[in-house]
Chains A and B, each alone.
Chain A
Amino acid sequence: MLADIEGSKFTHVLGAMLLMGALVVVFAASVQAKRGDTPFLLRLAFRGLLLGALPAWVLMRVGAQWAYSEGSYDAARTEPGWIGFGFITSELGLLLLIAATVVAGLASRRLSRGEASAGALQPWSQGLVGVLIVLYVVTIFAMSAKPD
Chain B
Amino acid sequence: MNAMDIVLFFHVLSAFALVAGVVTFGAVMRQASRPDGAAALRLTPLARRLWDIGGGGTLVLGIVLALDEFEITDGWILGALALWVVAAGGGVRLGQVLGGAEGARDSGVLGGQAWGLFSVAALATLGILYLMVFKPGL
**How many angstroms between the C-alpha atoms of A29 and B24 in the bound complex?**
10
Q: Which residues of B contact A141 (CB under 8 A)?
A: 9
Partner of A140 from B16, B27, B42, B133 at Cβ < 8 Å: B16
Quick one: CB contact mask for A9-25 with B, threshold 8 Å, 1 for yes? 11001101110111011
Q: Which residues of A contact B40 (CB under 8 A)?
A: 40-41, 44
Instruction: Indicate whether B130 reaches chain A with its CB closer than 8 angstroms.
Output: yes
* Pair A28/B43 contact, Cβ less than 8 Å: yes
Total chain B interface residues with beta-carbon distance under 8 A? 31
**Majority SS at the chain A contact face:** helix
* Pair B31/A44 contact, Cβ less than 8 Å: yes
* Pair A25/B12 contact, Cβ less than 8 Å: no
- Considering the complex, which residues of chain A in the window 22-58 have a beta carbon less than 8 Å from any beta carbon of chain B? 22, 24-25, 28-29, 32, 35-37, 40-41, 44, 48, 52
* Pair A10/B19 contact, Cβ less than 8 Å: no
Q: Which residues of B contact A41 (CB under 8 A)?
A: 39-40, 42
Which residue on B lies nearest to A146, using beta carbons? B5
* Pair B129/A13 contact, Cβ less than 8 Å: yes
* Pair A36/B8 contact, Cβ less than 8 Å: no
**How many angstroms between the C-alpha atoms of A33 and B91 in the bound complex?**
25
Some 5 contacts from A to B, beta carbons below 8 A apart, are A6-B134, A17-B19, A17-B129, A36-B39, A140-B13
Residues of A within 8 A of B (CB): 3, 6, 9-10, 13-14, 16-18, 20-22, 24-25, 28-29, 32, 35-37, 40-41, 44, 48, 52, 137, 140-141, 143-147
Known: A37-B42, A41-B42, A140-B12. 9 other contacts (CB 8 A): A10-B130, A17-B19, A21-B19, A24-B23, A24-B46, A25-B43, A29-B43, A52-B23, A145-B9
